[in-house]
A and B are shown apart, each in its own frame.
Chain A
Amino acid sequence: DAGITQSPRHKVTETGTPVTLRCHQTENHRYMYWYRQDPGHGLRLIHYSYGVKDTDKGEVSDGYSVSRSKTEDFLLTLESATSSQTSVYFCATGQAYYGYTFGSGTRLTVV
C-alpha cells in the first residue's frame, strides 16, 4: 500500500476557479511538502508543514494556500486558478533526517 496518496491524479480546470489538491499519508510523518515541477525549473517548494496547523511558505507560494488539520492530510488550494499554475504537483513527507518520500504527482491543467 502506498504511504502517500495524492488526489486527484489528473485535473483540468478553468481559469478563475478554486482547486484543492489533497495529500494523504499513512506514515505518521511530521513534515509534509508541496512542490510544483515545471521544465527547466526542477521542483520548487510551494509550502511546507512541520506539524498540525504549522505551515510556512516556500519560494513560490503566491496564489497558493495550505492547511493541515491532522497529521495525515495536507491540502493545497489554488484560490483562483491561473494558466501559470498549470504544472505537475508533488507532495512529499518525511520524519527522520533522510529519506523523504514522494507521492505520484498530480497533473493540473488550467484552461
Chain B
Amino acid sequence: AQKITQTQPGMFVQEKEAVTLDCTYDTSDPSYGLFWYKQPSSGEMIFLIYQGSYDQQNATEGRYSLNFQKARKSANLVISASQLGDSAMYFCAMREVIILTGGGNKLTFGTGTQLKVEL
C-alpha cells in the first residue's frame, strides 16, 4: 500500500498567486514526521518544511506552510506569493519509527508534483 500519496503529477500557478500541493499519508505509528522537499531541475534535494505528528500548530517557514490535518492524514504544502524560482518538483515524505529495528527511522517519499510557475 502507498504510504505517501501525491495525486497531482503536475500543477500550474500564476506568479504571485498561492498554490497548494496535496499529500496524504498512511501510518499506524502514533509518532511520525512529515517533510516537504523541493527538487529543481539541477537535481539537488532541498528541505523545505517539517511537521511532527504531535505538533499542535501547523509548521511555517517563510512563504511555505504545511496544512496538517491529522484526522484526514493529509499534509498539504502551501506556497504563498509564487515566484518563477519555485518551478520545481516537490516531494512529500514521511518518517516512521520502526520499533522492530530498535527505533530505526524509515523515510518514505511520494511520487512528486511538478510545479510550473507562469508569468
| A contact residues, range | 20 to 34
Chain B residues in 8 Å Cβ range of A33 = 107
Chain A residues in 8 Å Cβ range of B107 = 31, 33, 45, 48, 92, 94, 100
**Chain B residues packing against A (C-beta within 8 Å):** 6, 9, 33, 35, 37, 43-45, 47, 50, 52, 91, 93, 95, 98, 101-112
Give complex CA distance A105, B44 in Å: 8
**Interface hits, A18-54 → B, CB 8 Å:** 31, 33, 35, 40-45, 48, 50-51, 54
The 8 closest A-B pairs by CB, nearest first: A50-B104, A102-B45, A98-B50, A42-B111, A43-B109, A42-B112, A42-B109, A31-B105
Chain B residues in 8 Å Cβ range of A42 = 6, 91, 109-112
Determine whether A104 belongs to the interface, using a CB cutoff of 8 Å to chain B: yes
By beta carbon, the residue of chain A nearest B50 is: A98
Specify the main secondary structure of chain A where it touches its partner.
Answer: strand
Chain B residues in 8 Å Cβ range of A100 = 35, 47, 95, 107
A46: min CB distance to chain B, Å: 12
* Residue in B52, B104, B108, B112 whose CB lies within 8 Å of A31: B104
Q: Are B101 and A50 within 8 A (Cβ)?
A: yes
Q: Are A45 and B106 within 8 A (Cβ)?
A: yes
B35: min CB distance to chain A, Å: 7
Determine whether A88 belongs to the interface, using a CB cutoff of 8 Å to chain B: yes
**Interface hits, A97-111 → B, CB 8 Å:** 97-102, 104-105
- 30 A–B contacts from the bound complex (CB under 8 Å): A31-B105, A31-B107, A35-B109, A40-B9, A41-B111, A42-B110, A42-B112, A43-B93, A44-B109, A48-B106, A50-B103, A50-B104, A51-B104, A56-B98, A59-B108, A90-B45, A92-B107, A94-B105, A97-B33, A97-B50, A97-B105, A98-B33, A98-B50, A99-B47, A100-B35, A100-B47, A100-B95, A100-B107, A102-B45, A104-B43
By beta carbon, the residue of chain B nearest A94 is: B105
Give complex CA distance A104, B106 in Å: 20
